[in-house]
Amino acid sequence: MTGNTWTIFKKELLDTLRDRKTLMFMLLIPTLVTPALMIGGSRLVENIMKKKAVERITIVADEQSHARYRGVVHRWFKEANQDFIFRAALNIGLNQLAQQDEEIPAPSPEIYTDPVVFEEWLNEVGDYMTEALSGEDLRERLSEIELPEGSPENSSGMSLGDYGDTMQLFVDFYTVGLRGLAFVDFETPDSIDAPSADFVSDGIPEEMISQPNGLNIAAAIKSKKIQGYLIFEEDPTESLTNESRTMPVTLWHDSTLSSSKEAETRVSRVLDRTGKLVVISRLKKRDLSPDFLEPMDLKGNTNLASPSQEILAAVGGFLPYLVIVYAFLGALYPAIDLGAGEKERNTLETLLLAPQTRTEVALGKFFVILLASLVAAILGVASIAISFYYIIPASVMAQANIQLDPMTVIAVTLLALPPAAAISGIFLAISIFARSFKEAQNYIAPMQFLIILPPLAAMLPGIEMNWKLAMVPLVNVSLLAKEFLKGDINWGYYVVTFASTILLAAVCIGYSVWQFRREEVLFRT
Amino acid sequence: MISVRDLSKVYKVKKKGEVVALQGVSFECRPGEVFGLLGPNGAGKTTCLRIISTALKPTNGSGEVMGHDILTDPAGVRTSIGFLAANSGLYARLTPKEVLRYFGTLFGMEKAKLNARIDELAETFEMTEFLNRPCDKLSTGMKQKVNIARTVLHSPPVIIFDEPTSGLDVLTSRTIIQFVKKCREEQKTVILSTHIMAEVEKLCDRVAIIHKGQLFFNGTVPEIREKHGDDLEEAFIQMVKEVA
């Protein structure tokens, strides 16, 4: 840098740092707003999911269908009790899960024989557990449950986590028993009122609304008063013994309404889990092992990628994209301010009449834009990396063992340099060409697509780095990152990527200098 | 010392073709002299001054500033002039002191000298009070004072003022007029473009009148009076009408 370039650089940097708008875009958005949105967004989704899982829904069913549905859930329970660890650990497990002062009332022996008593007991358990249950860490909490003392399986202090199949039964107790039955209110079809006058029945199948009270039920689902209408045409106790046919079950619902969709999810889980257990017991009866249904299995744990490599491959693909987006945002305002802004404030003529060369002016400005772009890219990537620490569960993070060491920082900086330089050069040229701040913004807005789309395309699978693509600015950064993550670092590509970017930046700076000499550009208003 | 010979400037304007902004203008102004450039809006005054300052290249003609040719030695010209453009702006987020330091450094002034010069100019233009205030917080008059201080910061032998008092109150105008007089005493060459006749009377040793790109009068104020009567404004209007 010559003395004059340095003088211009210092002044433009000071000017840029005093501009609150620029600082907002350069620092605040990448470092605070994006992580806040990411963390807040993921928490919000998590909370909605949790609430949805324990939400009480209302299903319409006549008494017979209700009883038959209850019979299916009870059938699941009876099958699950074939597992004697499940049987032994049930109460202890429920009490440990509920974590309340009062113990969940011990069930009467009738729950194993009488489905009505079973449903009453489930409702009681549900009342104790609504607060305690949350879908995400259920497995984790279950795995810590200590098995009852004295049982043969607990001779060496085993916990539920050591028995995968039993733990799955506990998870199913939650999805089938609690979500499928205890958190559901049943109403009879004739208790549903006539629809309001403005209900439109268009699009609802004729055979549904022509049923007795069918129109009322459809209207009640559409208006979110109830979530579904359940019909069991056959008695499951009989149907499930008949091994040669599938028992039909009907559920009216509206998949566009989230609670009604939830009703469909719950009923289909109940049928699915119970069906699986019924199949296993059918196999046992014929002295067949469950393996009868699974002739082949692809064994896990032969994956050569470590957990940290898997995370890098999943998250790392977005790295160049993020770098480019933040480099773009960081360069945007300084570039417009330093070029078009100087024209708008009527300071350019005075500056160009000072003795320094126009190349020195263009370079001084370019380096400030480049710095802003780089800082924004690095801060943006860093803050997203930090937000991932909060979003990805701690257990996964611990496995992955990702550390932010100086080498990673240097690698990201090196990765950010080419796109930042290319973007800074392009923006400076546009900004100097533009008459005013507004005009510069108008020119740069469509550039977003030109700058952000090609690197995105390069992220598609199948597109690999080669010498030709290494010469295409921005696209080469994407491909270079791809190579980087695969662990093949071809320094030749790195050099070509840098060289092509420096060339582009140089052309842009040259263009800017030429603009500075053009009378019609300098003095047009 | 400024001398220009036969300056012409033709702008190429899209759709309209060529627009002649200046045609065959020649004049000279000497050290210790304030040279007034008069003319209605759009007459070509600013184009003429921009050519002298090397911001624009003439289509035809030549010129010299303190022995530097405006075509072959623009860098030499730039170091020997101080140029105040019409409507010249300031960096809103910088303070006057920072603006002055920036330009002083670009003009290659040493730090100690520069600081002393800034203090001196701050006193001349009564700027001490707002020297460290951001420029966008200054009044029009304060801004113009900073602009003029910036123009003469590097003590150039030639000073070009393009409408320095436009939009200013009487008090600030007076400070500026007194400063121009001081420049004359210091044997500087001053070109002043204006259309305020009172300023012309007070300041200008010689006057050139430009209209529609052509110079049609070059002489002293008494000479104008001799030809066209005592009222300078009336005389100016009459002369412009004669050309049209």
- CB-CB neighbours of B162 under 10 Å: 22
Q: Which of the residues B49, B52, B105 would you substitute to probe the A interface, choosing the one with the greatest number of A C-beta atoms within 10 Å?
A: B105
Q: Nearest C-alpha of chain B: how many angstroms from A255? A: 57
pLDDT value at A261 more than 80: yes
- CB-CB neighbours of A73 under 10 Å: 22
pLDDT (tens digit per residue) in B189-203: 999 998 888 888 888
How far apart (Å, rounded) are the C-alpha atoms in residues A9 and A338? 11
Q: Encoding tokens for residue B64?
A: 């010299």
Q: Which of the residues A5, A9, A17, A350 would you substitute to probe the B interface, choosing the one with the greatest number of B C-beta atoms within 10 Å?
A: A350
Q: Which of the residues A15, A17, A349 would you substitute to probe the B interface, choosing the one with the greatest number of B C-beta atoms within 10 Å?
A: A349
Give the residue from B116, B98, B199, B16 showing the smallest Cα distance to A347. B98
Nearest to A15 among B50, B93, B108 (CB): B93
Contact A11 B75 (CB under 8 A): no
Q: Which of the residues A4, A12, A349, A353 would you substitute to probe the B interface, choosing the one with the greatest number of B C-beta atoms within 10 Å?
A: A353
CB B27 within 8 A of CB A490: no
Q: What percent of chain B has pLDDT over 70?
A: 100
Contact B79 A8 (CB under 8 A): no
Residues of A in contact with B53 (CB under 8 A): 353
pLDDT value at A154 more than 60: no
Q: Where are the domains of chain A?
A: 3-33+306-522, 49-293
Q: Encoding tokens for residue B100?
A: 């002055």
Q: What percent of chain A has pLDDT over 90?
A: 26
Give the residue from A168, A67, A177, A170 showing the smallest Cα distance to A116. A67
Q: Read off the pLDDT band of A58 (50, 70, 90).
A: very high
Residues of B in contact with A363 (CB under 8 A): none
pLDDT (tens digit per residue) in A132-146: 665 556 777 777 777
The residue with greater pLDDT, A447 or B110, is B110
pLDDT value at A403 more than 60: no
Q: At what angle do helices A358-391 and A406-433 cross, to 10 degrees?
A: 130
Contact B88 A19 (CB under 8 A): no
Contact A522 B88 (CB under 8 A): no
pLDDT value at A36 more than 50: yes
Contact B102 A11 (CB under 8 A): yes
Indicate the range of A74-88, A300-314, A347-361, B98-112 predicted with least confidence: A300-314
Nearest to B78 among A11, A353, A523 (CB): A353
Indicate the range of A84-93, A365-374, A440-449 predicted with least confidence: A84-93
Give the E-state strand segments of A136-234 in sequence order: 184-187, 228-232
Residues of A in contact with B57 (CB under 8 A): 519
How far apart (Å, rounded) are the C-alpha atoms in residues A371 and B205? 52
Q: What percent of chain A has pLDDT over 70?
A: 88
Over residues A191-195, the mean pLDDT reads 84
Q: Nearest C-alpha of chain A: how many angstroms from B236? A: 29
Nearest to A353 among B11, B53, B102 (CB): B53
Q: Read off the pLDDT band of B228 (50, 70, 90).
A: confident
Q: Read off the pLDDT band of B233 (50, 70, 90).
A: confident
DSSP-derived secondary structure letter, B107: T
The answer for residues whose C-beta is within 8 angstroms of residue A254's C-beta and 6 or more apart is A221, A222, A260, A261
Q: Which residue of B has its CA nearest to A15?
A: B93
Stretch (H or E) spanning A519: helix A519-522
Contact A354 B85 (CB under 8 A): no
Contact B105 A7 (CB under 8 A): yes
Nearest to B102 among A7, A352, A355 (CB): A7
Q: Is B42 on the interface with A (CB under 8 A)?
A: no
Supply the pLDDT for residue A322. Answer: 81
CB B122 within 8 A of CB B114: no
Contact B55 A11 (CB under 8 A): no
Q: Nearest C-alpha of chain A: how many angstroms from B243? A: 28
Supply the pLDDT for residue A153. Answer: 55
Over residues A486-504, the mean pLDDT reads 82
Give chain A's mean pLDDT. Answer: 83
Strands B189-194 and B158-162: parallel
Supply the pLDDT for residue A379. Answer: 85
Q: What percent of chain B has pLDDT over 90?
A: 63
End-to-end Cα spacing for chain B = 32
Chain B 81-120, CB below 8 Å of chain A: which residues?
Answer: 81, 83, 85, 87-94, 98, 102-103, 105-108
How far apart (Å, rounded) are the C-alpha atoms in residues A201 and A205? 9
Over residues A369-381, the mean pLDDT reads 89
Contact B90 A353 (CB under 8 A): no
Q: Read off the pLDDT band of A370 (50, 70, 90).
A: very high
Residues of B in contact with A353 (CB under 8 A): 53-55, 78, 81, 83
Nearest to A19 among B75, B93, B103 (CB): B93
pLDDT (tens digit per residue) in A335-352: 999 999 998 888 988 998
Residues of B in contact with A368 (CB under 8 A): none
pLDDT value at B134 more than 90: yes
Q: Read off the pLDDT band of A174 (50, 70, 90).
A: confident
Q: Read off the pLDDT band of A455 (50, 70, 90).
A: confident
Residues of A in contact with B94 (CB under 8 A): 11, 14-15, 18
How far apart (Å, rounded) are the C-alpha atoms in residues B80 and A150? 103
Q: Which of the residues A10, A11, A518 would you substitute to probe the B interface, choosing the one with the greatest number of B C-beta atoms within 10 Å?
A: A11
Domains defined for chain B, CATH in brackets: 2-243 (3.40.50.300)
Q: Which residue of B has its CA nearest to A343?
A: B89
pLDDT (tens digit per residue) in A462-479: 788 888 888 888 888 888
Q: Encoding tokens for residue A265?
A: 């999810």
Distances (CA, A) of B152 to A421, B80, B121, B182: 37, 10, 9, 12
Q: Which residue of B has its CA nearest to A20?
A: B93
CB A176 within 8 A of CB A270: yes
Burial of A190 (0-12, 13-18, 19+ CB in 10 A): exposed
Contact A350 B150 (CB under 8 A): yes
Nearest to A15 among B54, B91, B103 (CB): B91
Residues of A in contact with B103 (CB under 8 A): 350, 354
Give chain B's mean pLDDT. Answer: 90
Contact B85 A346 (CB under 8 A): yes
ipTM of the prediction: 0.91
Q: Which of the residues B65, B78, B91, B158 would you substitute to probe the A interface, choosing the one with the greatest number of A C-beta atoms within 10 Å?
A: B91
Q: Which residue of B has its CA nearest to A9?
A: B102
pLDDT value at B156 more than 90: yes
Q: Spell out a b/e string for A198-234, using b for 16 or more CB atoms within 10 Å of the CB, else e.
A: eeeeeebeeeebeeebbbbbbbbbbeebbbbbbbbee
CB A63 within 8 A of CB A231: no
pLDDT (tens digit per residue) in B201-227: 888 999 998 988 888 889 898 888 888
Over residues B87-93, the mean pLDDT reads 90
CB A263 within 8 A of CB A271: no
Q: Read off the pLDDT band of A85 (50, 70, 90).
A: confident
How far apart (Å, rounded) are the C-alpha atoms in residues A36 and B149? 48
pLDDT value at A90 more than 80: yes
pLDDT value at A525 more than 50: no
Q: At what angle do helices B96-106 and B140-152 cross, to 10 degrees?
A: 20
